[in-house]
Chain A
Amino acid sequence: MTTARAGSRATVLTRIALLAATVAAGSAAAQTAIPPTPQDFAMAAAQSDQYEIQAGYVAITQSQDSRIRAYAQAMIDDHNRTSADLARAATASGLPAPPPAMSSDQVSMLAALQSLRGPDFDKAYVKQQVLAHQQALTVERSFAEAGADANLQAAARSTEPVIQHHLEMAQQIKAALGGS
């Protein structure tokens, strides 16, 4: 079994936090990061989209908080769009459209959301959203700056500000919930 399955949710979130810390350290760090290959970028971006869509569906069903439900609906709408843009860009470059899979960590995060209710759900969802968007931003930013495929780079450039906006929204909600 994957290590992510063996790890606890806290471990998963810690790993993502460590990655996100690289982004938080400042844009200079991101600019010097080596961009992924076009195939790896497409896969990572598609995985992020899929996680955001599925987590969004859990949240619009499960959250009692109307701000969170509205945010989650925006995630579903926006990530369906970025996912379609990505697929078009990949096809234009002669690459196979990445399948709608999630990474093991994202699967663990989704599984955790599926088990939660009430305020515990809201806290966990928003915490995941901040971390997941920080990670997605790293991926999009590095490819937007120096990616090796023009079509995918264009997709990254139009997606990057969307992810940035999502991150800000998530951070606002987290602060409003009094999150740590």
Chain B
Amino acid sequence: MPSDPPFSRRQMMAASTLGAAAAVAGPAAAQTVATSKGGKQDPRTKHPKPPFPAQSQPWPGLAGRMDPRPDHGETSYVGSGRLRGRKALITGGDSGMGRAAAIAFAREGADVAINYLPVEEPDAREVVGLIRSAGQKAVPLPGDLRGAAFCRRLVADAVAQLGALDIVVSNAGHQKSTSSILDISDEDFDWTMKTNIYAPFWIIKAALPHLQPGSTIIATTSEQAYDPSPDLYDYAQTKAATMNFVKSLAKQLGPKGIRINGVAPGPIWTPLQISGGASEGKVVTFGATAPLGRPGQPAELAGIYVRLAEDDGSYTTGNVYGAGGGQGQP
């Protein structure tokens, strides 16, 4: 194995306390590379299915307080050096798919900066701990993405603390379910647009000067981009916009050697849903519409983010990979 930073005794104890599936190969190894898990499980029963307890938290909500807790791959994701030497910035990296990507990236050998809202600190601290347990550098960068100045500072701080930047995961999102357009205030609309469309614009712009050829950008879109729910008029159009800019930027950045792709989840069990993103009735039956009969867990999408970030996927750009349990597009 190439030289990786040695595991400290504290990190090894932390890893086993977390019950990480990764076996520690010895003090000189920072990463597990035992045999990968392999095998197969029944996807219908692998994770919890509805009905779920009725629950709601104020925006943005904490994964740590959801029932059941989402699975971001904490005890299951096994890396194999696929992102060795890479430097990643992930927005919304405290919970949901961003967290799953952060854990996976770290276990694949990348240093990871995560952005999140300050009130999400309890979740973020867990993610920082998991990144460090994997032997990688963790850079927590809390703050609200809804302003250009912060977004520029976010990227500058990430570059400064990581030393470089070659993966940008634009994943943070705001989602509020409103049955009628008439009930969406100007402030609500702005909140969704600033988070889901303006912030990606500011962040990608700020990041580009630092991205060398071979770098990758990944944006979280949604099945909502293709077949929107009637109560997500504002959110869904931002996901359509995201899917669209993945394709326009792929054309623009391909000649510069930078790839950009999208991930389109179906119903995934994250704090987005229990803090206003879905009606309470939808939360209780979340994922019942999917042929697999349950919602997805963030852990089930981690591998997609890794795939789109790794050098091995070098011909994939301008594409959108889905994970919808059998429903929706792509």
CA distance A117 to B178 in the complex (A): 9
| Chain B interface extent, by class | 20 to 34
Question: Binary interface profile of B, 277-319, with partner A (CB < 8 Å = 1, else 0)?
Answer: 0111111110011010100000000000000000000000000
Instruction: Indicate whether A115 reaches chain B with its CB closer than 8 angstroms.
Output: yes
Query: Are A114 and B279 touching (Cβ within 8 A)?
Result: yes
In angstroms, how far is the closest chain A Cβ from the Cβ of B184? Answer: 13
Q: Give the residues in chain A near B121, CB-CB below 8 Å.
A: none
Question: Binary interface profile of B, 248-290, with partner A (CB < 8 Å = 1, else 0)?
Answer: 0000000000000000000000000000001111111100110
CA distance A144 to B329 in the complex (A): 40
- Which residues does B use to contact A, with CB under 8 Å? 50-51, 54, 177, 179, 227, 229-232, 278-285, 288-289, 291, 293, 327, 329
Q: Give the residues in chain B near A121, CB-CB below 8 Å.
A: 281
Known: A58-B281, A58-B282. A115 touches B289 (CB 8 A): no
Query: Are A117 and B54 touching (Cβ within 8 A)?
Result: no
Which chain B residue has the least Cβ–Cβ distance from A1?
B329
Question: Which one of A29-37, A105-113, A128-136, A171-179 is at the interface?
Answer: A105-113
Instruction: Indicate whether A39 reaches chain B with its CB closer than 8 angstroms.
Output: no
Which chain B residue has the least Cβ–Cβ distance from A106?
B289
Interface of B is mostly: loop
Q: Give the residues in chain A near B281, CB-CB below 8 Å.
A: 57-59, 61-62, 113-114, 116, 121
Known: A1-B329, A100-B293. A115 touches B284 (CB 8 A): no
Known: A1-B329, A54-B50, A57-B51. A115 touches B293 (CB 8 A): no
- Chain A-chain B contacts (Cβ-Cβ < 8 Å), number: 65
In angstroms, how far is the closest chain B Cβ from the Cβ of A110? Answer: 6
Which chain B residue has the least Cβ–Cβ distance from A112?
B230
Instruction: Indicate whether A101 reaches chain B with its CB closer than 8 angstroms.
Output: yes
Known: A115-B231, A115-B279. A58 touches B284 (CB 8 A): yes
Query: Are B329 and A114 touching (Cβ within 8 A)?
Result: no
CA distance A114 to B285 in the complex (A): 8
Q: Give the residues in chain A near B54, CB-CB below 8 Å.
A: 61
| Residue of A107, A110, A114, A116 touching B278 (CB-CB under 8 A) | A114
Instruction: Indicate whether A118 reaches chain B with its CB closer than 8 angstroms.
Output: yes
- Which residues does A use to contact B, with CB under 8 Å? 1, 5, 54, 57-59, 61-62, 100-102, 107, 110-118, 120-121
In angstroms, how far is the closest chain B Cβ from the Cβ of A152? Answer: 23
CA distance A59 to B283 in the complex (A): 12
Known: A54-B288, A110-B285, A121-B281. A101 touches B293 (CB 8 A): yes
Known: A1-B329, A61-B281, A100-B293. A115 touches B179 (CB 8 A): yes
Which chain B residue has the least Cβ–Cβ distance from A6?
B227
Which chain A residue has the least Cβ–Cβ distance from B280?
A61
Q: Give the residues in chain B near A113, CB-CB below 8 Å.
A: 281
Which chain A residue has the least Cβ–Cβ distance from B286?
A114
| Residue of B51, B179, B288, B329 touching A116 (CB-CB under 8 A) | B179
| Residue of A1, A54, A100 touching B285 (CB-CB under 8 A) | A54
Query: Are B284 and A111 touching (Cβ within 8 A)?
Result: no
CA distance A133 to B140 in the complex (A): 54
In angstroms, how far is the closest chain B Cβ from the Cβ of A8? Answer: 10
Q: Give the residues in chain B near A57, CB-CB below 8 Å.
A: 50-51, 281, 284-285
Q: Give the residues in chain B near A1, CB-CB below 8 Å.
A: 227, 329
CA distance A123 to B289 in the complex (A): 21
CA distance A111 to B279 in the complex (A): 11
CA distance A120 to B179 in the complex (A): 9
CA distance A37 to B118 in the complex (A): 59
Which chain B residue has the least Cβ–Cβ distance from A111?
B289
In angstroms, how far is the closest chain B Cβ from the Cβ of A43? Answer: 14
Query: 18 new A-B pairs (CB below 8 Å) besides A5-B227, A57-B50, A102-B289?
Result: A54-B285, A57-B285, A58-B281, A61-B280, A61-B283, A62-B279, A62-B280, A62-B281, A102-B288, A107-B327, A111-B229, A114-B229, A114-B278, A114-B281, A115-B177, A115-B282, A117-B231, A117-B279
In angstroms, how far is the closest chain A Cβ from the Cβ of B132? Answer: 39
22 A-B pairs with C-beta separation under 8 A: A1-B227, A1-B329, A5-B227, A54-B285, A54-B288, A57-B50, A57-B281, A58-B282, A58-B285, A61-B54, A102-B288, A107-B289, A107-B327, A114-B229, A114-B231, A114-B289, A116-B179, A116-B231, A116-B281, A117-B279, A118-B179, A120-B179
